[in-house]
Amino acid sequence: MRRLKAATVEDGELGKERRSLAESDSAAEAHFKIVHQSDGRFHWELINPHGTPAMRSMGTFATEDEATANAEYARRLITQAPIKRP
């Protein structure tokens, strides 16, 4: 049986684009963002390295400080949570 070599796009324009995307991804960081809603309340969002929301708070908060405290609690909870497989 003969093995086929996997095709790559490391050379040429596609390779440059791929490297550029990888470099820009590594420069971005996931972060929590406090959002001021139109009704005057606040919630937090977890923003992924691509700049899009990955998660948000289930509730809303009366003040920015409350939303920030809840985001800090969520961050601690997420970092301590183990991954459980079926």
The pLDDT of residue 24? 52
- Residue 7 belongs to some domain of the structure: no
The pLDDT of residue 8? 45
CB neighbour list of residue 30: distance below 8 Å, 6 or more residues apart: 46, 47, 48, 49, 54
Segments forming the whole domain that contains residue 50? 29-86
- Residue 35 belongs to some domain of the structure: yes
- Residue 14 belongs to some domain of the structure: no
- Residue 13 belongs to some domain of the structure: no
Number of separate domains in the chain: 1
- Residue 11 belongs to some domain of the structure: no
Q: What is the pLDDT of residues 44-75, one digit of tens each?
A: 999 999 999 999 999 999 999 999 999 999 99
The pLDDT of residue 2? 46
- Residue 22 belongs to some domain of the structure: no
Hey, what amino acid is at 68? T
- Residue 36 belongs to some domain of the structure: yes
CATH number at residue 77: 3.30.160
Task: Identify whether the C-beta of residue 42 lies closer than 8 Å to the C-beta of residue 67.
Answer: yes
